[in-house]
Every structure is written in structure tokens, then in C-alpha cells.
């Protein structure tokens, strides 16, 4: 029996997986939208976004709009490839279990 390839632990955390999935379908998403969509707290989401940014899976842009801070996130080409690989590994897991 072949050894299973490990899933990417950066993506595998539920909130990070949710963020990556959302960012695949949009040009970018602001912090408030991601917070609402994932059900995360400010601090928790911020921590998860930082991990994704450190892995170069997402890009975070912070700017001031109408005198208020606005944080937007987008997926990077590296993040897109990592997500595709993650899904491929999950598919391998499923095929082995059937």
C-alpha cells in the first residue's frame, strides 16, 4: 500500500480552508466579509490570515478609505496552486477509501 501524501496543514485548518475557498471565487474580499462568512472573531481571523500571508498563499492590502482602515485579501498564484494540490490530495484519500 502506498503511503498517503499529507494534506497541507496551512490550508487544512477550517477557517483557513474557508478563506481560501472564498478567495478562489472572487477578485478580493474585505476583512468584514471574510469575518462574517467564516464566523471567526477579529483576532482569530487576523491570525489565520497572517498564516496564509506568511505562506504566500494570500496577499493582504491595508489602506484608508473614507478615513477608515480597509483590509482586503486576494489569493496569490502560489495559493491557487497550493489549493489545487490540497484538493488533489483529498481526492486521493477518498479514492483509497472507496
DSSP state of 28: -
- Residue reference for cell 493582504: 60
Question: Can you give the residue range of the structural domain that contains 49?
Answer: 9-97
Question: CATH number of the domain that 73 lies in?
Answer: 1.10.10.10
**Structure confidence by residue, pLDDT tens digits, 19-41:** 999 999 999 999 999 999 999 99
Number of domains in the chain: 1
Could you please report the per-residue DSSP string of 7-22? P-HHHHSHHHHHHHHH
| Cβ(42)–Cβ(50) below 8 Å | no
Q: Which residues lie closer than 8 Å to 41 by C-beta, 6 or more apart? A: 35
In a domain, 2, yes or no: no
**Structure confidence by residue, pLDDT tens digits, 62-82:** 999 888 889 999 999 999 999
What is this structure's pTM? Answer: 0.91
Q: Which residue has the higher pLDDT, 77 or 96?
A: 77
Amino acid at each position: 500500500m502506498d503511503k498517503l501524501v499529507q494534506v497541507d496543514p496551512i490550508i487544512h485548518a477550517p477557517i483557513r480552508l474557508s478563506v481560501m475557498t472564498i478567495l478562489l471565487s472572487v477578485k478580493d474580499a474585505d476583512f468584514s466579509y471574510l469575518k462574517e462568512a467564516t464566523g471567526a472573531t477579529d483576532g482569530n481571523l487576523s491570525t489565520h490570515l497572517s498564516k496564509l500571508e506568511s505562506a504566500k498563499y494570500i496577499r493582504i492590502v491595508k489602506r484608508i478609505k473614507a478615513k477608515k482602515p480597509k483590509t482586503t485579501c486576494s489569493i496569490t498564484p502560489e495559493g491557487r496552486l497550493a489549493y489545487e494540490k490540497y484538493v488533489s490530495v483529498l481526492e486521493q484519500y477518498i479514492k483509497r477509501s472507496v
